[in-house]
Structure 1
Amino acid sequence: MGGDPILCLNIVGFPKCLPIEILSKILNGSASKVKEAGAIVIGGHSIQDNEPKFGLSVVGKVNPEFVYKNYGAKIGDKLVLTKKLGVGSIITAIKGEICSDQAYNEAVKYMTTLNKYAYEASKSVKVNACTDITGFSLMGHGYEMAYGSKVSLHFDKNKIPIIEECVEYVKDGFVPEGTYSNKRYLNGKVYCECEEWFEDILFEPQTSGGLLFAVGTECLDKFKENLDSKDVFYEVVGEVKELSNKYIYVK
């Protein structure tokens, strides 16, 4: 991580049965975010498919001296998370046609917020490790950081931010299948002192999730100032400690 995008190609799979206007909205929405990220769309590839699919192939540049790696966290580092959790369960509720407008709008807000601004806020501080929180969940990507750094990550369950509207859906069983896959993979690696519904959110896949930074305590205040100046949501959710029986602790 730590690169800047330059060029993008659209990759589209689209069925005949859907109005072409839907595809136009998808492409226009993507183009607006590509522009916001500072890149341009130069073309793409499309095929007919039974299900609509869309993505981007991105070409960018990165200074090899300033690559952000998902390992390298040091004992004493503070953990900073830049988006709330809960998007996965809200998407599941949307598919189940029970999602409220408020929950929908909150999820869309986070999914359409670029991590560009959190990254820019971090440029002037020493980041020891960084990972995005996506399909493998906060616990899964946190485990990758802990394992690669040979440390344990200790999360304060009262500090982990969640989208309030998702709680009801999780309690009602609207949990993405990937949650259970993540739990199976991380069995024995994570220790949680929390209710089952909260644990489900911790292991839930996130779409366009935030960044998890490990930064030294001497840099924390400056980093928080930078995030505030760019109006980036964040929460200090834990700290890095010496490796013990588990790679992740949530208490």
Structure 2
Amino acid sequence: MNGKEEKIVFCKGGGCTAKLGAGLLSHVLEKLPKGPADENLLVGYDSKDDAAVYRISEDAAVVQTLDFFPPMVDDPYTFGKIAATNALSDIYAMGGQVKTALNIVCFPESMDLNILGEILRGGSEKVLEAGGTLAGGHSINDTDVKYGLSVMGMVHPDQIWSNNSGQPGDRLILTKRLGVGILCTANRVGEASKEAMEQAVASMTTLNRKASEIAARYRVHACTDVTGFGFLGHLHEMMDGRLSCRVDGAAVPIFPEAVHHANEFLLTAAGQKNRNHVGAYVTFEDSSFATEELLFDPQTSGGLLLAVDGKDAKELEKELQKAGLPAKIVGEVTEKTDMEIRVRGKVNGMT
């Protein structure tokens, strides 16, 4: 970057913390006219799922998604990789394979175009790593930088992972650590360590492709990726008003330094929106303030949250870990009780 002033303009808080709050979004979407039902639209926005799925034949369905946001890191190339990884993730959360992607770009004409080139280079590399083809895109002149992708993938209609089809007895497996929202907040005020940010960036630029491909060999009943609504927000969507679950706070993979920053109140406004939206559905037992904040923390390019048959969970966890992922069994799905989500225990990390 060329100078402190441009650096501040480029990165002033973004990623999935820029998402509209879930409550506000639901209020708007429920008022949209739906039109006649299409039997080939297997997954639409009314299910609050990660992507749309449209059947085109008996053995093929198109998975369609898009995602874009402002920068959350200073380096344009790194931002491009993170934004692309995040957008591609929705395909993997549906159990699909990436095929094509289109760039979505908002960029000020007054800013150095080399910055835009670096963003697009980072995004292009991740599309290629995903096995997809970058097929074009659209750009507009804007006052702020925003970047992401519209992505098309494919999945067999009988092998779709919806986010709300879990079953009692399923174990919940999370494939990436939580805390990137808090770490990025701490980094903007110069409090995050270099090592912690390197770990966060490595996580945010890791495709969920490997996790998805491994999980496809097991009996996965439901899946979502953990992004702007935080672990508990996305878990609430998985329960769908018909199930409950227990979460072991000590088992949840986290970035240890994020615990310290949470205790120092280096939090995100989006995290507080998540708390306001789903807090009534959650009870904490023998927990801590940092645990609550990490579970509400909005994640950028977070991991997959899988509801997998209880008999498969240990073996799947073992295989994911063998592949180098920090995956952990973090809870269990149950029949519906008086409280939807029960979190017991504290996350492990710096105090």
TM-score of the superposed pair, with normalisation by structure 2:
0.69
Number of aligned positions between the proteins: 250
The one of 45, 51, 63 aligned to 2:138: 45
Residue 305 (structure 2) pairs with residue 246 (structure 1):
no
One-letter amino acid of the counterpart of residue 274, structure 2 = N
Higher RCO, Cα 8 Å, sep 6+: 1
Residue 225 of structure 1: CA displacement? 4.1
2:311 match: 218
Task: State the distance in 2 between where 1:117 and 1:152 align.
Answer: 28
Q: Percent identity?
A: 40
Native 8 Å contact 2:180 2:300 kept in 1: yes
Residue 120 of structure 1: CA displacement? 0.3
Residues 26-82 of structure 1, C-alpha deviation per residue, up to 9 Å, x if partnerless? 111111111111101111111111111001011221111100011121111111100
SS in 1 for 2:240: helix
Residue 190 of structure 1: CA displacement? 0.6
The one of 248, 265, 274 aligned to 1:173: 265
Q: How does 1:122-133 map to 2 (within 5 A)?
A: 122-133=215-226
Gaps of 5+ in 2: 1-93, 345-351
1:182 match: 274
Residue 246 (structure 2) pairs with residue 154 (structure 1):
yes
Label 1:227 to 1:187 Cα distance change in 2 as closer, same or farther (>3 A). Answer: closer
Residue 232 of structure 1: CA displacement? 2.4
Q: How does 1:63-82 map to 2 (within 5 A)?
A: 63-82=156-175
Task: State the distance in 2 between where 1:155 and 1:225 align.
Answer: 19
Residues 71-127 of structure 1, C-alpha deviation per residue, up to 9 Å, x if partnerless? 121111111100000000111122223322111101101100111110000111110
1:28 match: 121
SS in 2 for 1:217: coil
2:283 match: 191
Task: State the distance in 2 between where 1:145 and 1:85 align.
Answer: 18
Q: How does 1:86-105 map to 2 (within 5 A)?
A: 86-105=179-198
The one of 228, 231, 236 aligned to 1:143: 236
Task: State the distance in 2 between where 1:229 and 1:182 align.
Answer: 33
SS in 2 for 1:69: coil
Q: Please, which moves more after superposition, 232-241 or 221-230?
A: 221-230
TM-score of the superposed pair, with normalisation by structure 1:
0.95
SS in 1 for 2:256: coil
Gaps of 5+ in 1: none
Label 1:26 to 1:63 Cα distance change in 2 as closer, same or farther (>3 A). Answer: same
Task: State the distance in 2 between where 1:207 and 1:43 align.
Answer: 24
Q: Please, which moves more after superposition, 40-49 or 118-127?
A: 40-49
